[in-house]
């Protein structure tokens, strides 16, 4: 059961990281934030130029951290559980 929970948490972090990476890529390509076609909850000031590129870089750096944390964290927890189970 714990292995399944670790796998689900790891997969969730990787999915969040993938979504953030794709958002950062869309911001870089469009040169503005929010990118065209993005749904927003309220009226949002459109940021262009360097400010948009900075937001894209932050999104992609966060995405990298989420992907690494999800992968390494799930692997570590599963390996620890398996070593505890073995006689």
- Reported as a pLDDT band with limits 50, 70 and 90, residue 85 is confident
Q: Say if residue 1's pLDDT is above 80.
A: no
Quick one: CA dihedral 22, 26, 31, 35, positive or negative?
Answer: negative
Say what the pLDDT of residue 16 is.
Answer: 97
Q: pLDDT tens digit string along 21-68?
A: 999 999 999 999 999 999 999 999 999 999 999 999 999 999 999 999
Task: Find, among 75, 60, 47, the residue nearest to 19 by Cα.
Answer: 60
Quick count: other Cβ atoms within 10 Å of Cβ 56? 22
Say what the pLDDT of residue 5 is.
Answer: 84
Task: Find, among 66, 69, 74, the residue nearest to 24 by Cα.
Answer: 66
Say what the pLDDT of residue 81 is.
Answer: 85
């Amino acid at each position: 059961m714990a292995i399944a929970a670790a796998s689900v948490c790891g997969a969730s972090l990787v999915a969040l990281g993938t979504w953030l990476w794709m958002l950062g890529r869309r911001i870089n390509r469009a040169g503005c934030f929010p990118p065209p076609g993005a749904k927003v909850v309220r009226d949002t000031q459109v940021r262009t130029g360097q400010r948009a590129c900075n937001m894209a870089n932050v999104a992609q750096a966060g995405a990298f951290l989420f992907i690494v944390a999800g992968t390494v964290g799930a692997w570590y927890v599963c390996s620890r559980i398996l070593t505890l189970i073995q006689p």
